[in-house]
Structure 1
């Protein structure tokens, strides 16, 4: 953590003392995608003035006359590159790679139908992106595995229907995502590149048969039998940074679910605002920040107490993504807007639990990812 030094005069024991004292002040940088404008914005937030602004707008996509839909974003572990999933294609979407700072295009690779969210394993170095298949048939989709240095697609792992919320554990050994239309949390072994376990999220579900092995895969007909009026309709999964827990956004059931990965069962259910969509756990593991897409608000939860500390109205309707600064002081929320409205990034101070600024963006602000902090 860096500090800006300021010259101050203070009174100590009746004497004036002139000196420099460290005051917290940071520059924060993040990327957000404007899906309906085919743009990605680089945003700078001044932690001292608590004001943000767009410093650069990057046009993405190939065809100016078509909306190609930049959706998910992520940053390489070394901070040198950023990646964006281009959701629409003919028919397949793609993954594009850019240089951070200069925002120069580097390379791209074709993926599946409507590629969405992604994460990179600290263990394997590979990138795992879910193919959400928003406009395709209701059939099992895939998680594409990409080697980000060469931008080679190494594998497509069959998963559930409409997968979303790709997040990897801090040790890089497990990738978690959800299957929206089969009410499942799915775990991938990042080294074997195979589904290791599936967990049905319904309240009255028997999960005794859900563990998968390398020689025991479900075929398409098996998946088809699992589709029956999804209730939870999960849209996001985020593993806890230090505990064997994964938190899931139940978009259809208006709840957050806590899953114990050792017991492989749902251990807690918290009622939330309408239609929680994305969520992120603070890096110290104390807070969970969730967007409530159905009511244009953001919830901040104390994980130890299981209590919602605040529900903060967003600047407009259709709340989308969330990313938290590494110092756990600020949450940045992407808000889509409705119709022809611009999107926005709402900035929430996690100490005061207040919204401190709003940065206007292009239409349908969605994917959002933190890049770096500078002094």
Structure 2
């Protein structure tokens, strides 16, 4: 671990406020350097917020996360000098920005008490070189620590009970389980081509490419998408792989229904939304999302009834967001939204 806040560039503005709108979807548009706010009821884009530290350059807003109390949200910017931006939900006003001192920035994780943000260094240009994460104090955006973890960690995800942080490492075929108390690596889980298979991946040349994780509501296991293999793996908090199930091609992000019974997984390569049984990891439903290419991000409504999917788009087409009713697979609405549309999060409304 490397402590300190060297290279910190911080701008912090005063202000706080309550959300004066209904709930919103926060969606990152990587190629237009924006965060889009959508009404989850009908997909209307209600606001576009520029997140563009270098006008004229592509900065790529990447990951977005909301505080547990819904009063603030954060977005990472991956290119140039990667940064973390803090917004208050009331008016969606930017109140702080910090330069992370990392080569890249992936999907941030927020501690259940809302006090800490972990930003993994998704540094694909490192081609397998060791990398890590910045630990940021949420209230004033001070970088209080830098962690050495693995090549190009993509996401940091706290368990609901706050005891663990899971970090998938797509360039080294590992999932790390960190003790949230001191952020030490307790388990380094290597993933071969099958559970228990020899783990011999060379950094930078992955076989299965673990990309994103989601915790069980009980905090006793975490699921990870294996994008290159086309599978989801279940890992317990002792670092043991419990099971693995096949998915459609290129599973990306993953969400868990509130009761913990189903996993919702966009399959980038097959333009599908896969629904998996969380215990057996069998695919129980495949919902076709044929109108928009490369489904990537996913977030569920608080009741778990609706999945909202961010589609990347292509170099020749815009991205999009679709809403899918999980009970019957019906697409409720579709909105063209941004380009290279990756991150998506649910921001609650007042009183939610």
TM-score of the superposed pair, with normalisation by structure 1: 0.82
| Residues 1:293 and 2:268 aligned together | yes
Query: 2:98 is matched with which residue?
Result: 109
Query: 1:66 is matched with which residue?
Result: 57
Q: Which one of the candidate residues 233, 241, 257 is aligned to 1:282?
A: 257
Question: 1:205: how far off?
Answer: 4.1
Give the 3-state SS of the residue equivalent to 1:115 in structure 2.
coil
Query: 2:242 is matched with which residue?
Result: 267
**Conserved? CA contact 2:313–2:340, under 8 Å:** yes
| Residues 1:141 and 2:131 aligned together | yes
**Conserved? CA contact 1:83–1:95, under 8 Å:** yes
Q: CA distance change for structure 1 residues 253 and 137 in 2, over 3 Å: closer, same or farther?
A: closer
Question: 1:64: how far off?
Answer: 2.0
Question: Could you list the per-position Cα deviations for residues 206-230 of structure 1 after superposition, in whole angstroms to 9, with x for gaps in the alignment?
Answer: 68xxxxxxxxxxxxxxxx9953742
Question: Could you list the per-position Cα deviations for residues 149-199 of structure 1 after superposition, in whole angstroms to 9, with x for gaps in the alignment?
Answer: 000011111111121132110011211011111111101122212222101
Within-5 A mapping of 1:1-375: 28-46=23-41, 51-89=42-80, 92-111=81-100, 112-123=102-113, 125-202=115-192, 203=194, 204-205=196-197, 227=203, 229-262=205-238, 264-314=239-289, 315-372=291-348
Query: 2:4 is matched with which residue?
Result: none
Give the unaligned 5+ runs of structure 2. Answer: 1-21
| Cα distance between partner residues in 2 of 1:269 and 1:141 | 27
Question: 1:307: how far off?
Answer: 2.9
Question: 1:120: how far off?
Answer: 0.8
Question: 1:283: how far off?
Answer: 1.9
Query: 1:18 is matched with which residue?
Result: none
| Cα distance between partner residues in 2 of 1:128 and 1:96 | 13
Moved more, 250-259 or 312-321: 312-321
Question: 1:77: how far off?
Answer: 1.7
* Alignment size in residue pairs: 326
Moved more, 307-316 or 357-366: 307-316
**Conserved? CA contact 1:181–1:230, under 8 Å:** yes
| Cα distance between partner residues in 2 of 1:245 and 1:67 | 37
| Cα distance between partner residues in 2 of 1:298 and 1:164 | 21
**Conserved? CA contact 2:201–2:207, under 8 Å:** no
| Cα distance between partner residues in 1 of 2:236 and 2:70 | 31
Give the 3-state SS of the residue equivalent to 2:135 in structure 1.
strand
Which protein shows a greater Rg?
1
| Cα distance between partner residues in 2 of 1:65 and 1:123 | 38
Higher relative contact order (CA 8 A, sep 6+): 2
Q: CA distance change for structure 1 residues 198 and 348 in 2, over 3 Å: closer, same or farther?
A: same
| Cα distance between partner residues in 2 of 1:316 and 1:35 | 17
**Conserved? CA contact 1:176–1:188, under 8 Å:** yes
Question: Could you list the per-position Cα deviations for residues 218-277 of structure 1 after superposition, in whole angstroms to 9, with x for gaps in the alignment?
Answer: xxxxxx995374211110111111151111101111111111224x21121111100111
Give the 3-state SS of the residue equivalent to 1:135 in structure 2.
helix
| Cα distance between partner residues in 2 of 1:228 and 1:81 | 35
Question: 1:36: how far off?
Answer: 0.3
TM-score of the superposed pair, with normalisation by structure 2: 0.87
